[in-house]
Structure 1
Amino acid sequence: FIHKLVLLSVPLSSLLVSAVVLDEYAKTEGAWILSLVKREYSVGTVLECAIKCNIEPAFTCRSFMYVEKDQECLTIPANGKIESVLRRTSTSLYEKKEYLMECVNGIGMDYRGTKSKTNSGKTCQRWASKYPHKPKYALMTPSTHPKADLESNFCRNPDGDSKGPWCYTTDPDTRWETCNVQNCSEECMHCSGKNYRGKISTTENGYTCQHWNAQKPHNHGYIPSALLEKYLEENYCRNPDGDPRPWCFTTSPSKRWDFCSIPRCTSDPPRVVEELTCATGDGSAYRGTIGVTASGKACQVWATQTPQQHNRTPDNYPCKGLELNYCRNPDHEKMPWCFTTDPETRWEYCKVPSCGDVPGPDYAAPPPAEEDCYVGDGTDYRGMVTETISGKRCQSWSSMTPHSHNKTPQVFPKADLRRNLCRNPDGDRAPWCYTTDPSVRWEFCSVNRCPTAPNIWSQMLSLILFSVDWLSDCKVGNGGTYRGPTSMTMLGVTCQSWSAQSPHQHASFTPESHPDKGMESNNCRNPDNDVNGPWCYTTDRNQKWDYCQIPDCAGLKCGQPVTKPRRCFGRIVGGCVSKPHSWPWQISLRTNSKRPSAYMVVLGTHTEGANEPSKQERKLEKLILGPGETDIALLKLESPAIINDKVLPACLPEKDYVVPPGTECYVTGWGETQGTGGEGLLKETGFPVIENKVCNRPAYLNNRIKDHEMCAGNIEGGADSCQGDSGGPLVCHAQNTFVLQGVTSWGLGCANAMKPGVYVRVSKFTDWINSQIKMNS
């Protein structure tokens, strides 16, 4: 018994050592740094690779890359602050945290950041250089201070100067100066505090902050797991929505949220590469002198409050270039804009030219409908998927956060890099995107390959296999439980047997190391739970391993229509006709009076005339109104509807779930189109969810939104549900499924600027829905 305890203590100690060592590094999956200087090692674990980096004798190791499938370890002297980070399949980049920090502890002798300018703005001289200033007695050079990290021209403190990090300057008249580096213990913010990562958790009025992952006392949509790029940690003050400064929800039931009192930093804010004649992406870096809107209205000076009162002032947004009346984008809108001098028009977008030969902006009318599947490598894919294979939200191609990159609309003008749509600009094996998860740089997207011409032999084989459950040739999720017979990669190469060591040697994934993973032969498997699905080592000497093409096990499931919808970010008011039967939960409720027996429910139709063969008609047995005169109701049919590819329910949400802001949602209906065409056909529009905190701002819906309601729409207007759409579904897309999150309720006009649509929040009524179903079944 004692002997067993001793044996058990060994792996526990190893785990503790591993945790301590790896905690020194920041991990990013799918990332790779191309460095000319590197050392390559063959190791069995990531811990061994980390130890190699820690004791690297050839150079200062700032990061390492580890490829588990290849057991490949590369140590390098660079990191993401020094060299460009590239994307690479199944590679993890580990960067030493000490070299990523841009603040100092004490006098900063351990500072290893990348600041290279002095207090007065002078550029630092390289430490190894002797021009324009020769280090006195050659004391301050990389060779004399090997542990001081005197590489490049970064600010350092090799001699323990009491004023902190310093450098020799490139100004012949100034030998050296102290650098302006923030103290790590200093609680302060730059600009509007978007990047504030401090630990203040009390508001300016003394309220304690509610934890971001809590939903009591205040229900909200700022969910840390869905908004990883916002760093919503613990109950610390943050600024996830472009407010003038950090804030938080409070623990007081009577005070929903409050600003936090955080002083401004004395160190220099992040530099913006100013764009003077054109705009890239959303135009947040535009600093030109255009001062009129797209319709020709003069812009109001940002520092004034007439005729429009507002809080987008130079004081509130000090880093946004709010000079005079020039068009700017201080709050993450789609493009530069301004308040206007017309009392009847609060604000409008400006017509600022795009930098370079780029396609139309993200807000342009959508292209013709495309199938949501790809051919070949998906270079020509133009579908609307915005999620990765593991369900992560895609980062906008024009955004540089959380991942900086060069796959922009300007660099790839023909790749249709709109919004955050999955694309393949660089000819990879399939459509992909950067993710909004800071720890996962990129992933392939949740897009299926388009079916090819059927093969009679493969059809016969699948019919035989379909009768044997454990051999069914499809995968659930990432295929960790897949035990099917496929033994060929997606490029048609035969798999190497898992027990074989030729042509490729490997030790991490064998039948012995993973006895419960079905690795007895050469069939595709997923022993490491790779998010991209089953894979295998190949019999091609030039390709060690590759993924396999395994279809998903799909059936008639709620929220997963057989006919994939267009997912058109166009308009109902404005016209975007849906693909027939792509929204199979849409019904038409018809009546000549208000008696339940006079109602008729029509299902399975695309036309308002409802003359398709797929039409199902059901009389209404009972109408159940929502509690407390809320704008929701349940309909009980006299006889059940027949579920098929044209009649299928959307999924119900989790109880009290609040949809995170920016989530992609859609409304459908046969309602008023205001003469824009498409009358009589089901229409759709897509737009993002707006958090109630934002929607209740005075400029928007001015505190009219209640907790059991939600907002969705484009702040500039142009897309909305309208008269005749009331009661219709608002479905939001997540994990390849459409969930009924809202019911069309009310709005101030149709598609008006600053007046998004209002929907009943279905998650507030799940208990009521379930109880009514039981009572009336």
Structure 2
Amino acid sequence: MEVHRAFHCLAFILITGFPGSHSQRTDVLEAYVKTDGAWIIKLPKSQYTVKTVEECAVKCDKEVSFTCRSFLYIEKDQDCVTLPANSKTDQILRRMSATLYEKKVYLLECVNGIGKDYRGTKSRSKSGKMCQRWEGTFPHLPNITPKTHPKADLESNFCRNPDEDKGGPWCYTTDPEKRWEHCNIQDCTEECMQCSGENYRGKISTSMSGFTCQRWDSQQPHNHGYIPSALPDKYLEENYCRNPDGEPKPWCFTNNPTKRWEFCTIPRCTTEPPTIVPELTCASGEGSSYRGTISVTVSGKTCQAWASQSPQKHSRTSENYPCKGLDGNYCRNPDNERSPWCYTTDPETRWEYCSVPSCGDTPGPEEPVIPEGEECYEGDGSSYRGAMSETISGKKCQFWTSMEPHRHSKTPLNFPKADLRRNLCRNPDGDRAPWCYTTDPSVRWEYCNLERCDNIPNTQESQTNPSQTATQATPVESAPSKIDCKVGNGADYRGATSTTLMGITCQAWSSMTPHQHASFTPETHPDKGLESNQCRNPDNDVNGPWCYTTDRSKKWDYCQIPDCESLKCGQPATKPKRCFGRIVGGCISKPHSWPWQISLRTRSRIHFCGGTLIDAQWVLTAAHCLERSDSPSAYKVLLGIHTEKANEPSKQERDVVKIIKGPASTDIALLKLDRPALINDKVSPACLPEKDYIVPSNTECYVTGWGETQGSGGEGYLKETGFPVIENKVCNRPSFLNGRVKDHEMCAGNIEGGTDSCQGDSGGPLVCYAQNTFVLQGVTSWGLGCANAMKPGVYTRVSKFVDWIERSMKQN
């Protein structure tokens, strides 16, 4: 074997696709993974000026100074930087308008064939011995080195196959008694899963009973909340088996109408799972890496051993969750809960969270209410403490404590004064505005959907006509050329602004002084309005119009162009707190921040239910609120109030002239008012959802009401709470609501309890925030008690009744 290791050379061929693929690629970018807003600082590097990203990819493929694993492309600067690094070897940083392209071949952790093209980071032999560095000489003097095999990527101590050994990748070991050994690396064609299959990306699409899996982007035959576009980090592709919600193994919804979902039969891999984060004795993020020895819950109960089935029977065992450290009775988080927890030895308490110390200044299970803050920012937004958690292009923000899908250093521990709680937009590093990492793996970060407080236009003169059908309100389709505002990202903006947000005059698009550029000129983009030096958006930048500047030290910058937004459904004039407190236990709303909330009352004006204004003359509520009488004259509707006493000057009072109850066995009803409500800054409608739309799992939504607070304070004032939507599949588990939730209903709440609607909130709205708008997704219907653990609230799913609502309003 010594001779074999000494003299067999490899003529290594660097391919442009996945290992084992020898077909010619017409698109050189097919060999790369793209991430917007990402940047790597690494030496050595090579820098080029190119006209297209494809040219930059060619530069990377032909790089001779080093092995090019990735490249950076900055379109506005026509700048191309080739690098020997990627996200597996170096820290990824944020940089506006930079795009990182990483070669897929260097990201794979599996082998094709004998693995001669393997470029992963495995560094242990199959018996677990640490590999010796290829350039090292101790404890073994190697025959194969980076100098003898310069094209074999013999870097660090990673397993490689420079001599085409039929046994696959190998390495010299650090064991003096064992010169070399093969490495145990998974075959790329092998359909197997690591751990519980959270990262399974295979193509098995049949359940264990042989049913074909339903496509994730389909709602037939089963409605569900696992929406691929809303959960890009879960890789819900085609109809492949996946594990997006912490089950013991991958599963899928089936194409059999009588079988909603089922596990898939996928064997566990024989190779060791990749180590992504170190094991910790404190909780970082949701605490999935906690491996400490705390074994007592927050209320002082002793934890049950994970291997035991008494007194609590469960499936959270080391066999089902082999990578989660389920040893003894220590607190752990095997299934993506908010923090470490355990089953308890108290037969009356199935499970509870544990008091595990945080690795940084992060909120625990009893997360504090978000401090009230304006939904605009001062200066650069470093002091912004509002509740926005959506980027300018509508992407959901990643939690600051999470390292998925983007690893980063902007954590509460590193920035203790930046208020990096949950996934709220913040500016911890002095950028020009609040921002966040996104949950989209292909977009590292974006600025948030916020404006500067001194740049918000006065909309008092543009109020909605009371006679307008509120649910029909639509955004302005295009900005007239004389109005200096933008619609969306401003791709069609043709206004006169010609200075950047820092006040620097723009360079003419046809000029090459002081900055040379060839990508964006009147000739290359004749339909983009590049005739002069006005701010424009020729490349569809999500952050809006920009320009090259007349400052020699600043090539380009964005412009401050306000949005052409007008008052319409789902956009309150007074921005809500959007607090993560609870109705039971308290979070008093800002007055008139939920202007669609109505109070349903008896003729003697006693409040007993809530409702939602969806049109100037129509209210949506729960059918069970109307059980006391079928006569419309038995009810009154109050709008524009904040207190239950209803003594505000803004109060509007309406009689009910028609009651229309929903289909049989559904808890929804329409109330027609005796005359339209006056739509103003204190009374306006919520938007109806798209027909049959299913709210994605974990979407943050809000409930409001004057209901029972169980003596916790705030009685008599409108209260609010925010909590996540729980997919019906999870909500119907035996330990939760045990199959009681129907397809036309939805669950929302915190599994641990403490947050819920209660008596008196029935019929009120569950609204979810998206694209700068609150949409009515649920009508408060029923629950097992108020704010009880593992008993989330149930809401009538409004999207299932859009046709009925529109038809009923039109015919009556």
What residue is the counterpart of 1:406 in the other structure?
409
Displacement of 1:205 after TM fit?
0.9
Question: What is the distance in 1 between the residues matched to 2:431 and 2:481?
Answer: 32
Determine if contact 1:690/1:711 at 8 Å carries over to the other structure: yes
AA in 2 matched with 1:165:
P
What residue is the counterpart of 2:463 in the other structure?
none
User: Residue 27 of structure 1 is aligned with which of 19, 31, 34?
Assistant: 34
AA in 2 matched with 1:94:
Y
Asked if residue 184 in structure 1 is aligned to residue 184 in structure 2, the reply is no
User: Residue 554 of structure 1 is aligned with which of 565, 570, 573?
Assistant: 565
What residue is the counterpart of 1:432 in the other structure?
435
Determine if contact 2:479/2:493 at 8 Å carries over to the other structure: no
What residue is the counterpart of 2:7 in the other structure?
none
AA in 2 matched with 1:199:
K
SS at structure 2 position matched to 1:731:
strand
Displacement of 1:171 after TM fit?
2.3
* Structure 1 stretch displaced more, 220-229 or 366-375: 366-375
Structure 1 residues 17, 511: CA separation in 2 closer, same or farther (over 3 Å shift)?
Answer: farther
Asked if residue 316 in structure 1 is aligned to residue 320 in structure 2, the reply is yes
Question: What is the distance in 1 between the residues matched to 2:190 and 2:184?
Answer: 13
Asked if residue 252 in structure 1 is aligned to residue 256 in structure 2, the reply is yes
Displacement of 1:444 after TM fit?
0.7
Structure 1 residues 246, 360: CA separation in 2 closer, same or farther (over 3 Å shift)?
Answer: closer
What residue is the counterpart of 1:665 in the other structure?
701
Displacement of 1:500 after TM fit?
1.3
Displacement of 1:490 after TM fit?
1.1
Alignment of 1:413-492 (within 5 A): 413-451=416-454, 469-492=480-503
User: Residue 538 of structure 2 is aligned with which of 527, 545, 563?
Assistant: 527
User: Residue 655 of structure 2 is aligned with which of 619, 630, 636?
Assistant: 619
Question: What is the distance in 1 between the residues matched to 2:502 and 2:176?
Answer: 60
**Cα deviation digits, residues 539-591 of structure 1 (max 9, x gap):** 11111111111111111111111111100010000100111111111011112
What residue is the counterpart of 2:751 in the other structure?
715
Question: What is the distance in 1 between the residues matched to 2:367 and 2:456?
Answer: 35
What residue is the counterpart of 1:81 in the other structure?
88
**Cα deviation digits, residues 624-648 of structure 1 (max 9, x gap):** 0011131000111111111111111
Displacement of 1:360 after TM fit?
3.7
AA in 1 matched with 2:123:
S
AA in 1 matched with 2:253:
F
What residue is the counterpart of 1:384 in the other structure?
387
Alignment of 1:331-350 (within 5 A): 331-350=335-354
What residue is the counterpart of 2:575 in the other structure?
564
Question: What is the distance in 1 between the residues matched to 2:366 and 2:95?
Answer: 31
Determine if contact 1:574/1:676 at 8 Å carries over to the other structure: yes
Determine if contact 1:361/1:418 at 8 Å carries over to the other structure: no
Asked if residue 577 in structure 1 is aligned to residue 588 in structure 2, the reply is yes
Determine if contact 2:193/2:268 at 8 Å carries over to the other structure: yes
User: Residue 268 of structure 1 is aligned with which of 258, 269, 272?
Assistant: 272
**Cα deviation digits, residues 308-348 of structure 1 (max 9, x gap):** 11111111111111111111111111111111001111111
Displacement of 1:272 after TM fit?
5.8
Structure 1 residues 141, 394: CA separation in 2 closer, same or farther (over 3 Å shift)?
Answer: same
Displacement of 1:746 after TM fit?
0.1
Question: What is the distance in 1 between the residues matched to 2:277 and 2:232?
Answer: 26
Asked if residue 738 in structure 1 is aligned to residue 749 in structure 2, the reply is no
What residue is the counterpart of 1:764 in the other structure?
800
Question: What is the distance in 2 between the residues matched to 1:185 and 1:17?
Answer: 21
Determine if contact 2:214/2:254 at 8 Å carries over to the other structure: yes
Determine if contact 1:663/1:689 at 8 Å carries over to the other structure: yes
What residue is the counterpart of 1:395 in the other structure?
398
User: Residue 294 of structure 2 is aligned with which of 277, 290, 294?
Assistant: 290
Structure 1 residues 351, 362: CA separation in 2 closer, same or farther (over 3 Å shift)?
Answer: closer
* Structure 1 stretch displaced more, 744-753 or 146-155: 146-155
**Cα deviation digits, residues 127-174 of structure 1 (max 9, x gap):** 1222221113xxx11222122111222110011111110011222222
Question: What is the distance in 2 between the residues matched to 1:454 and 1:405?
Answer: 36
Determine if contact 1:498/1:519 at 8 Å carries over to the other structure: yes
Determine if contact 1:18/1:47 at 8 Å carries over to the other structure: no
**Cα deviation digits, residues 377-397 of structure 1 (max 9, x gap):** 111111111111000011111
Displacement of 1:179 after TM fit?
0.9
Determine if contact 2:123/2:130 at 8 Å carries over to the other structure: yes
Question: What is the distance in 2 between the residues matched to 1:389 and 1:591?
Answer: 44
Asked if residue 369 in structure 1 is aligned to residue 372 in structure 2, the reply is yes
User: Residue 537 of structure 1 is aligned with which of 548, 561, 582?
Assistant: 548
SS at structure 2 position matched to 1:116:
coil
What residue is the counterpart of 2:100 in the other structure?
93
What residue is the counterpart of 2:113 in the other structure?
106
Displacement of 1:679 after TM fit?
1.1
* Structure 1 stretch displaced more, 759-768 or 113-122: 113-122
Determine if contact 2:479/2:492 at 8 Å carries over to the other structure: no
Question: What is the distance in 1 between the residues matched to 2:275 and 2:750?
Answer: 30
Question: What is the distance in 2 between the residues matched to 1:613 and 1:714?
Answer: 36
Structure 1 residues 565, 114: CA separation in 2 closer, same or farther (over 3 Å shift)?
Answer: same
SS at structure 1 position matched to 2:55:
helix
Structure 1 residues 484, 18: CA separation in 2 closer, same or farther (over 3 Å shift)?
Answer: farther
Alignment of 1:606-685 (within 5 A): 606-685=642-721
Question: What is the distance in 1 between the residues matched to 2:236 and 2:371?
Answer: 38
What residue is the counterpart of 2:728 in the other structure?
692
Structure 1 residues 50, 352: CA separation in 2 closer, same or farther (over 3 Å shift)?
Answer: same
Displacement of 1:452 after TM fit?
6.8
Determine if contact 1:362/1:419 at 8 Å carries over to the other structure: no
Asked if residue 157 in structure 1 is aligned to residue 161 in structure 2, the reply is yes
The number of aligned residues is 746
SS at structure 1 position matched to 2:672:
strand
Question: What is the distance in 1 between the residues matched to 2:787 and 2:456?
Answer: 44
What residue is the counterpart of 2:76 in the other structure?
69
Question: What is the distance in 1 between the residues matched to 2:418 and 2:577?
Answer: 19
Displacement of 1:192 after TM fit?
0.6
Question: What is the distance in 2 between the residues matched to 1:196 and 1:141?
Answer: 35
- Tell me how large the CA RMSD over aligned residues is: 1.7
Displacement of 1:180 after TM fit?
1.3
Question: What is the distance in 2 between the residues matched to 1:195 and 1:186?
Answer: 14
TM-score normalised according to structure 1 size = 0.94
Question: What is the distance in 1 between the residues matched to 2:252 and 2:634?
Answer: 50
* Structure 1 stretch displaced more, 92-101 or 409-418: 409-418
AA in 1 matched with 2:754:
G
Determine if contact 1:119/1:177 at 8 Å carries over to the other structure: yes
Determine if contact 1:362/1:418 at 8 Å carries over to the other structure: no
Report runs of 4+ in structure 1 exceeding 3 Å deviation.
16-19, 272-277, 452-455
Structure 1 residues 196, 359: CA separation in 2 closer, same or farther (over 3 Å shift)?
Answer: closer
SS at structure 1 position matched to 2:481:
helix
AA in 2 matched with 1:434:
Y
Displacement of 1:126 after TM fit?
1.7
Displacement of 1:276 after TM fit?
5.0
Determine if contact 1:556/1:644 at 8 Å carries over to the other structure: no
Question: What is the distance in 2 between the residues matched to 1:120 and 1:524?
Answer: 62
What residue is the counterpart of 1:146 in the other structure?
150
Determine if contact 1:274/1:287 at 8 Å carries over to the other structure: no
AA in 1 matched with 2:338:
K
Determine if contact 2:370/2:386 at 8 Å carries over to the other structure: no
Question: What is the distance in 1 between the residues matched to 2:280 and 2:499?
Answer: 53
Determine if contact 1:274/1:286 at 8 Å carries over to the other structure: no
Identical-residue share of aligned pairs (%): 73
In structure 2, the gaps of 5 or more residues are: 1-22, 459-477, 604-627
Question: What is the distance in 2 between the residues matched to 1:454 and 1:177?
Answer: 69
In structure 1, the gaps of 5 or more residues are: 1-15, 456-466
What residue is the counterpart of 2:304 in the other structure?
300
Determine if contact 2:385/2:426 at 8 Å carries over to the other structure: yes
AA in 1 matched with 2:493:
Y
Displacement of 1:363 after TM fit?
3.8
SS at structure 2 position matched to 1:87:
strand
Determine if contact 1:692/1:705 at 8 Å carries over to the other structure: yes
